[in-house]
Structure 1
Amino acid sequence: MDGESSNILLEPMFNIDQFKYSNGILSPVEIQDKLSDSSASDFVFDAQFCPCDSRIVSYVVNKQIHIERDSSIIYKTPNSDPNVSNGVSAFITQEELDRFQAVWWSPTSTRLLYERVDETSVRSLMFVCPGREAAPPMKYPVAGTDNAISQLRIIMIDGNAVVDCGLKEPLKSRFPWVEYIARAGFLSDGKTVWVQVLNRTQSQASLILLPESEFEGFRSTGPILNASIVKNEVSSAWINTHNSIVPLDSNISTIEFIYASEQQSQCHLYVISASVVNHEIVGLRERVVTEGDFSVCKATNVVLDKDRQLVYYIANVGHPTEWSVCVSSYSESVQGMRRLTESGASFKWIPFQKYTKLGFVVVMLDGRGSSNRGTDFEFPIFGKLGQCEVEDQVEGLREVAQIMDGMLDLTRVVVQGWSYGGYMSLLALAKYPQIFRAAIAGGAVTDWKLYDTAYTERYLGYGEDRDPFYEESSVIKHVDKLPDQPGRLLLVHGLLDENVHFRHTEVLIEQLIKAGKPYQLQLFPSERHGIRSSDGAAYLDASILNFIQQALKD
């Protein structure tokens, strides 16, 4: 790409538009119809230019990778098996590991790394909405069942020749404990692949290097590097994934990364480096980049200024709930952190203000188990969900009431939450009915054996020996403690919820009926995990406000 002529790629929902900028003129480039062999409901996403040849563009449609050069398709991954996708990360990877990318271009060559996902052994989840045609089944790995199988592959483009290569030996054969591919990409040499992997319970994370010689179809004159583990972390609880793995400029003898870790409780950035001796990684070294009583945000990417050896990141400096843009040097000779945004400058839209306008006091608390406060604060929930974090809501409420000196009426408290918050709301009402007058539980998990693998097993473990932890953490076990008075429990759920499926509420209702416990139910036939339509949101707000007003009547 030069200064006078360049290509621009725009990615709307259902198509890709490519424009060429030349001599001050922006003109459209005709692109072949992307949906000629797909239904209108299939959308195009993850469109990327090849970094070293802007004539080449890749994108994903109908769960398959398409590659074009000069607006003509030169390769498309095969799609004969409906259970196999190419260039699309598995549901569990997107939902619980926060990785949505499954295509990575080499920075120096026309090579493309991608993930192939086989969901053949994953259970299917059916969505049934009475009176309507059933929605297509969805692959959903329930705790204790099989996950999708992921493979890394490389597409090589050499002139008119395109070769699709898999690993000579699957990752799981070389490293049997590997269950999840958390992150991946290329080193700066454009030939060596790096991948972060996790075991099933996410208590072990390893950063692995895979040279090109590990892939089929590559002729090697002798590997510079063997497949090697650069960094290995083991936790007594679990390891949180993050987006702060960035390879620095590497050479034939040294490998360097910017890498985030919670090894000292708070999430901080490090430079990890190692030497390559006789094709092996030796002498791992770590240098602190950030330190202090704050956490670097795990959900956002870090940005490097390699010329000045600076790393930009977001951190909760000053207060756990306030995020700031910060910069630090990763040079050995310069240290320190600079906060680039002023304290108190953030804007927060808080939907609960609609309650304060009506005279309600709204209290929001981070109990133990909350993220971005360090693992010392987060790990107490390991193996015992629904215990200390619920206790902390009660203690926090009492503390706020004492601070506000009579402004709170602790005999008229309603607890409300969605998803995990709905789960906590149910347990709060069951365990502390004398504290909470009523509860509103939306899209709530009620039995962890019905929830997905990665999230559930991270906190409660995997295997039959962990069954007691699942039972103790289930709402079902505590149904008999829920109030006998009507008007104290409102359940809300979307029938098309793809995250916490409706079976959770169905199982809870069955137990409520057996125990003779009253409840109110608000269903949304066309909604998923969260009410997204404006009509549905307005209706839910009105329903909740009416329920609260009725519940708090003396």
Structure 2
Amino acid sequence: MLLNFCNLERKFPSFYVGAWCFTGCQVWFSLVEQLMHRVKRPKIEDKTEDGAVSVRAALAGMTGVDELSDSTEVVEMEDVSSTQFQVEKHTWDGLRKIIHNSRKNTGVVINKAPHDFQFIQKDESSPHSHRIYYLGMPYASRENALLYSDIPKKIRKDALLVLSWKPMLDHFQASPHHGGFSREEELLRERKRLGVSGITSYDYHRPSGLFLFQANSSLYYCRDGGNSSFITSPMNPTEITSQNSGTRMDPKICPGDPSFIGFINNNDIWVTSIETGEEKRLTFCHKGIDNPKEDPKSAGVATFVTQEEFDRFTGYWWCPAACEEADGGKTLQILYEEVDESEVEIIHVPSPALEERKTDVYRYPHAGSKNPDITLKIAEIRTDSQGRIVSTQEKELPVPFTSLFPRAEYITRAGWTKDGRYAWAVMMDRRQQNLQLVLLPPELFIPAHQDEAKRRESLEALGDSVHPFIIYQETSDIWINVHDIFHPFIQTSDDEITFITVNESKTGFCHLYKITSVLQRGSYHWAKGFTHSEDDFKCPVKEEVMVTSGEWEVLANHGAKRSSSPQIWVDEAAKLVYFQGTKDSPLEHHLYVVSYDSPGEIVRLTKPGFSHSCSVSQTFDMFISHYSSLTTAPCVHIYKLNGSDSDPLHKEPQFWASMMESSAFPLDGTPPEIFSFTGKSGFELYGMLYKPEKLVPGRKHPTVVFVYGGPQVQLVNNSYKGVKYLRLSTLASLGYVVLVIDGRGSCQRGLKFEGAVKDRMGQVEIEDQVEGLHYIADKYKFVDLSRVAIHGWSYGGFLSLMGLIHKPDVFKVAIAGAPVTLWMAYDTGYTERYLDTPEKNQRGYEACSVALHVDKLPNEPNRLLILHGFLDENVHFFHTNFLVSQLIRAGKPYSLQVYPNERHSIRCPESGEHYEITLLHFLQQNL
């Protein structure tokens, strides 16, 4: 049912309307007043005939706005003629049956494919070369499970070998039995875009064969391989009991002593021993108060912005090596981030427990506001010879973090070198145009919470040559995309370090570099005070070798939201690096190998005509590819690399076995076709066309432009769309033309292409969508340009609104899902990367904030549908609330569909079905 916002109180308890208006929106409206006060709008004198303010006058002279049509007049639609194809109008129940039929074969197929692989090599006496572990959804199951398969050493060339998926756990239900997910789990699932239940990740310690995973809101472990024998039948995992209430999050095995497990509980770091049962709290940042206002600190926990905008989901990192003590004990270390959100804005979002009349409280830094204060610390654990904890100690930097790294606003990645000699961190400035890769010797950290005398002793004991090293810097005048590639080699000299990383700013395309930096030691008298200069700790680069090159991209953040797999695989013995990239086509991902010692030839290992996602074995003799194309449903195949060890670069991939055939996926409907055209910008643009199945010669069909259009996303590529974009196939089956276009601003086309939206989001993307629409209309003649809809979610919802505002003569209707309507109210990490702060880019913010331009929306009813989850903690419901308030003030018509129990992603199957029926019904009635 479509709701007018004024009638929300009839659908929700009055408390919640009040909670949003007074508890949540009062804060946001205050924010808007402050921001709009800072954003000085041009003096407005012109008035429209009905007294509304002329947005043309308000926007006069703004950068980039003139590129868009500002016509508020709608071209009169001609009477339906014999040339128009009319989509059959169905009842609500009829549309529901259509949705049911389109989904009947998909069910759990979306997450069926195996992923997160670990290869374990078996001994020579075994008939199998490897055992692989992975996550997947077995047949007839509705939740992810921990599985394994054995790869035989010999195969029959005349038969297809399909490996069986064997369960590691015996009849184990991993999803919560009752009560659902905890708040922490639910929010992490949102940040990771997880739709599957069951076991969604695991940690594995190769030498001991220890597996650790989270399930049923608890922690479990089991063993297979390593020092243990390989199982032949399912086993029962062991639950790790705890004295703590609440959910234990982010569990990790200590690589230096796998008897110890780290985890987060109530925003602090804990460890437990699976051998002794001992449990110990390591940090004491959080007071245990269920109120962020009174309890703003955390340890080892990635903040909302760090998770959502930088894809970092952890805040602590075990040192890979343990220090063996003379008495048989060990010293273990954890690097962690400590966060203080005292000065970060607090917002209130309605709680999922509507009947309890509560709101959830969050710290949320909006554009231009204060980010959290951050620092890095080390937690030390001392054990005795029996593995019992003797003592723990918190260690801190000798001077405040901001004194050492004054430009560092974000810690985007962190970890340790392989031997544990250094901790490392990737730091970025607030504008995200300067990146520093920093080494931190553990000796730099001194005991915390000491009195002044002891602290001075610690500082005096700190060697003058002990200090951080900035071993690499990257700068950009556009922005720097965060990546996951940093492979440090074991040091062969104390005076230098060699590593592989990527750089996008040098050439405008993301490429691999092998770098050697000199660890230039200075002299710092920590006890006598510290003064910082811009070049402190900066190390000279001795050698920088470009390993890959060209107008294509190395995939440096491939699947990071979900996968824990590495982004590159480095064979140090053969001096080769395996990576995924777009060398053959921006529409296909492939696995490549190149020598990093003498770069030159780049060898593709995967077959063309498909897009691949790969995992390479630790012995570099096999790889797994999950691949598909527009016309081929996903397959998962294992390949063996055969050839001479004297020429490892040219080993040939040989198909070895299948883990999943495309027959496991239904292929209903006609797949889309890819097209390309050269836009007025000079760039080649790619799109997908779903032709209507009921194509009638000489008839023109209503058309739906499905859009995302924002940075970091690519929709158009040669991969299977039959499940993820099922609704687009459904639209085509009903007689609609469906277009998807990756215009300027989308990813994997180089920084110049993506950076076209810098400081002017929403102002170039619509032009590319319209150009693509006209290109297809001219080419095929079956597009009815008088009946075009634009639809998208999140950034796509924002662009749908921008399309109707600036191109009302092109788009007859817009369906906007969870749109950002006031960019001043979105988070710092995302918004400032593309728009800077409101103070520095006033015109850019105003031009792209659709809620400030409602006067330009059409006056005809049934042209705008807004959809939003009431509990959205990412694009807060405030955005729709504020937009609707402005629409009412301007006397503009609109329709609104609210989903009371949904967040940014619609997860409930009933809500998802209702959304799709609502979409189809709105289109058939109004397009």
TM-score range for the pair, normalised by the shorter chain length = over 0.9
Q: 2:336 aligns with which of 110, 114, 123?
A: 114
Mapping 1:120-131, distance limit 5 Å: 120-128=342-350
CA shift for structure 1 position 6: 4.4
Given that 1:89 and 1:100 are in contact with CA atoms closer than 8 Å, whether structure 2 keeps it comes out as yes
Going from structure 1 to structure 2, the CA distance change for 1:132 and 1:55 (only over 3 Å counts) comes to closer
CA shift for structure 1 position 224: 6.2
Q: 1:233 aligns with which of 474, 485, 492?
A: 474
Given that 1:243 and 1:302 are in contact with CA atoms closer than 8 Å, whether structure 2 keeps it comes out as no
Matched, 1:322 2:525: no
| Identity value in percent | 37
What corresponds to 2:309 in structure 1?
Answer: 96
SS of the residue corresponding to residue 530 of structure 1 reads: coil
Q: Distance in 2 between matches of 1:229 and 1:24?
A: 44
What corresponds to 2:504 in structure 1?
Answer: 262
SS of the residue corresponding to residue 550 of structure 1 reads: helix
Matched, 1:172 2:375: no
CA shift for structure 1 position 4: 9.5
- Give per-residue Cα distances to partners, 1:116-140, cap 9 Å, x unaligned: 1222211111113776512321111
Q: Distance in 2 between matches of 1:425 and 1:525?
A: 22
SS of the residue corresponding to residue 325 of structure 1 reads: strand
CA shift for structure 1 position 424: 0.4
Given that 2:509 and 2:553 are in contact with CA atoms closer than 8 Å, whether structure 1 keeps it comes out as yes
CA shift for structure 1 position 433: 0.8
CA shift for structure 1 position 512: 1.0
Q: Distance in 2 between matches of 1:12 and 1:2?
A: 18
Q: Distance in 2 between matches of 1:420 and 1:442?
A: 9
Q: Distance in 1 between matches of 2:599 and 2:887?
A: 62
More deviation, 473-482/493-502: 473-482
Q: Distance in 2 between matches of 1:206 and 1:237?
A: 16
CA shift for structure 1 position 20: 4.5
Larger radius of gyration: 2
- Give per-residue Cα distances to partners, 1:186-233, cap 9 Å, x unaligned: 123313121111111112111112222321148977476531222122
More deviation, 68-77/166-175: 68-77
- Give per-residue Cα distances to partners, 1:148-199, cap 9 Å, x unaligned: 1222111122322221212112321122221111111112331312111111
What corresponds to 1:512 in structure 2?
Answer: 887
Mapping 1:364-443, distance limit 5 Å: 364-403=740-779, 405-443=780-818
Q: Distance in 2 between matches of 1:55 and 1:390?
A: 56
More deviation, 284-293/235-244: 284-293
SS of the residue corresponding to residue 188 of structure 1 reads: coil
SS of the residue corresponding to residue 782 of structure 2 reads: coil
More deviation, 438-447/244-253: 244-253
The one-letter code matched in structure 1 to 2:593 is V
CA shift for structure 1 position 108: 1.9
More deviation, 44-53/21-30: 21-30
The one-letter code matched in structure 2 to 1:275 is V
The one-letter code matched in structure 2 to 1:320 is P
CA shift for structure 1 position 376: 1.0
Q: Distance in 1 between matches of 2:570 and 2:464?
A: 29
Mapping 1:138-153, distance limit 5 Å: 138-153=362-377
Given that 1:194 and 1:207 are in contact with CA atoms closer than 8 Å, whether structure 2 keeps it comes out as yes
What corresponds to 1:335 in structure 2?
Answer: 600
Going from structure 1 to structure 2, the CA distance change for 1:473 and 1:2 (only over 3 Å counts) comes to closer
Q: 2:241 aligns with which of 23, 27, 33?
A: 33
SS of the residue corresponding to residue 551 of structure 2 reads: coil
What corresponds to 1:60 in structure 2?
Answer: 264
Going from structure 1 to structure 2, the CA distance change for 1:334 and 1:367 (only over 3 Å counts) comes to closer
What corresponds to 2:545 in structure 1?
Answer: 287
Matched, 1:359 2:735: yes
The one-letter code matched in structure 2 to 1:47 is P
Given that 1:427 and 1:478 are in contact with CA atoms closer than 8 Å, whether structure 2 keeps it comes out as no
Going from structure 1 to structure 2, the CA distance change for 1:19 and 1:224 (only over 3 Å counts) comes to farther
The one-letter code matched in structure 1 to 2:308 is E
Mapping 1:168-247, distance limit 5 Å: 168-217=398-447, 222=463, 226-247=467-488
What corresponds to 2:676 in structure 1?
Answer: none
Given that 2:349 and 2:871 are in contact with CA atoms closer than 8 Å, whether structure 1 keeps it comes out as yes
Q: Distance in 2 between matches of 1:270 and 1:170?
A: 32
Q: 2:914 aligns with which of 529, 539, 554?
A: 539
Q: 1:47 aligns with which of 228, 245, 251?
A: 251
Matched, 1:522 2:897: yes
More deviation, 165-174/177-186: 165-174
Given that 1:83 and 1:118 are in contact with CA atoms closer than 8 Å, whether structure 2 keeps it comes out as yes
SS of the residue corresponding to residue 53 of structure 1 reads: coil
SS of the residue corresponding to residue 529 of structure 1 reads: coil
Q: Distance in 1 between matches of 2:239 and 2:897?
A: 47
The one-letter code matched in structure 1 to 2:241 is D
Q: Distance in 1 between matches of 2:477 and 2:223?
A: 53
Higher relative contact order (CA 8 A, sep 6+): 2
The one-letter code matched in structure 2 to 1:259 is T
SS of the residue corresponding to residue 368 of structure 1 reads: coil
SS of the residue corresponding to residue 176 of structure 1 reads: coil
CA shift for structure 1 position 430: 0.9
Paired residues, number: 546
Given that 2:337 and 2:376 are in contact with CA atoms closer than 8 Å, whether structure 1 keeps it comes out as yes
CA shift for structure 1 position 334: 4.7
Given that 1:213 and 1:223 are in contact with CA atoms closer than 8 Å, whether structure 2 keeps it comes out as no
**Which structure 1 segments of 5+ residues have no match?**
none
SS of the residue corresponding to residue 138 of structure 1 reads: strand
Given that 2:823 and 2:849 are in contact with CA atoms closer than 8 Å, whether structure 1 keeps it comes out as yes
Given that 1:169 and 1:214 are in contact with CA atoms closer than 8 Å, whether structure 2 keeps it comes out as no
What corresponds to 1:105 in structure 2?
Answer: 318
Given that 2:548 and 2:599 are in contact with CA atoms closer than 8 Å, whether structure 1 keeps it comes out as no
Q: Distance in 1 between matches of 2:299 and 2:305?
A: 15
Going from structure 1 to structure 2, the CA distance change for 1:6 and 1:297 (only over 3 Å counts) comes to closer
Q: Distance in 1 between matches of 2:439 and 2:795?
A: 36
What corresponds to 1:76 in structure 2?
Answer: 282
CA shift for structure 1 position 434: 0.9
Q: Distance in 2 between matches of 1:67 and 1:173?
A: 31
What corresponds to 1:17 in structure 2?
Answer: 220
Q: Distance in 2 between matches of 1:202 and 1:236?
A: 9
SS of the residue corresponding to residue 497 of structure 1 reads: coil
The one-letter code matched in structure 1 to 2:557 is A
Going from structure 1 to structure 2, the CA distance change for 1:440 and 1:512 (only over 3 Å counts) comes to same
- Give per-residue Cα distances to partners, 1:353-401, cap 9 Å, x unaligned: 1211212121111111111211110112111111011111111111122
User: TM-score of the superposition, structure 2-length normalised?
Assistant: 0.56
- Give per-residue Cα distances to partners, 1:386-424, cap 9 Å, x unaligned: 101111111111112223x20212211100011111000
Going from structure 1 to structure 2, the CA distance change for 1:516 and 1:478 (only over 3 Å counts) comes to same
Q: Distance in 2 between matches of 1:374 and 1:119?
A: 35
Given that 1:31 and 1:72 are in contact with CA atoms closer than 8 Å, whether structure 2 keeps it comes out as no
Q: Distance in 2 between matches of 1:86 and 1:514?
A: 45
What's the RMSD between the two structures over aligned residues?
A: 2.4
More deviation, 508-517/271-280: 271-280
**Which structure 2 segments of 5+ residues have no match?**
1-203, 289-294, 323-331, 384-389, 448-457, 523-536, 559-566, 611-627, 629-633, 635-719
Given that 1:230 and 1:284 are in contact with CA atoms closer than 8 Å, whether structure 2 keeps it comes out as no
The one-letter code matched in structure 1 to 2:344 is V
SS of the residue corresponding to residue 785 of structure 2 reads: coil
Going from structure 1 to structure 2, the CA distance change for 1:319 and 1:29 (only over 3 Å counts) comes to closer
Going from structure 1 to structure 2, the CA distance change for 1:334 and 1:526 (only over 3 Å counts) comes to same
Given that 2:835 and 2:845 are in contact with CA atoms closer than 8 Å, whether structure 1 keeps it comes out as yes
What corresponds to 2:14 in structure 1?
Answer: none
Matched, 1:155 2:386: no
The one-letter code matched in structure 2 to 1:46 is D
